[in-house]
Amino acid sequence: MGTIVKDTTIILQTARKIGWKPDFCGQFASYSTAVAEASGEPAEGFYSMAPTIYRYPDDPDPAVRRFNATYRKTFWIDANYLGEAGYTCATFVMAALEKAGRDLTPDSFANAMESMKDWHDIFNGPPLSLSATNHHASSQSFLSVVKSRRWTPVVEQPLGF
């Protein structure tokens, strides 16, 4: 499904209500805790593809726990996948800015971005790399499914595309 959160939930609720139970699969915009935790559990068994795996606040990784504690302290809610994605993007750009150096110019920034190789985020996403001919950063995504109102990876390794 090429839907966002509310549309995804409405479609899943309606399908369940009329007894239609196909396998549904969404993309990055449907990979939200709001979908997984929707009232009545319409998303149970719903699949979604996303660039990384959502790391819940109870994740065992200390860096992820620190991120989530800081996020909650700052915004008074738990981070969702989009919060993680925003943090990853911001820290990637910060790493490129450091690489560009103190005398920042548009060219030095572009060169720094295009020299980022195998950069890793704290959420254990696939490595990100850019070049002058490739601005995609990654050609891997994860398939997850909702189980008991939580996103659960179908496989722990990303799938290439």
Q: Domains for the chain: give ranges and CATH numbers.
A: 1-51+138-161 (3.40.50.2300), 57-137 (no CATH)
Mean pLDDT of all residues belonging to the chain: 94
Chain-centroid distance of CA 85 in Å reads 5
Give the mean pLDDT of 6-10: 96
Give the mean pLDDT of 65-79: 95
Q: What is the pLDDT at residue 160?
A: 87
Task: Indicate the pLDDT class of residue 48, thresholds 50, 70 and 90.
Answer: very high
SS3 22: coil
Q: What is the pLDDT at residue 157?
A: 85
Q: What is the pLDDT at residue 161?
A: 77
- Cα separation, 79 vs 87, in Å, equals 10
| Residues 139 and 161: beta-carbon distance below 8 Å | yes
SS3 137: strand
What type of residue sits at position 127?
P
Higher pLDDT, 161 or 32: 32
Q: What is the pLDDT at residue 155?
A: 86
In percent, the amount of the chain with pLDDT more than 70 equals 100
Q: What is the pLDDT at residue 158?
A: 85
Q: What is the pLDDT at residue 82?
A: 87
What is the secondary structure of 31-85 as a DSSP string?
Answer: --HHHHT-TT-TTTT-EEEESS----TT-S-HHHHHHHHHHHHHHSS---HHHHH
Q: What is the pLDDT at residue 98?
A: 97
In percent, the amount of the chain with pLDDT more than 90 equals 89
Give the mean pLDDT of 43-54: 94
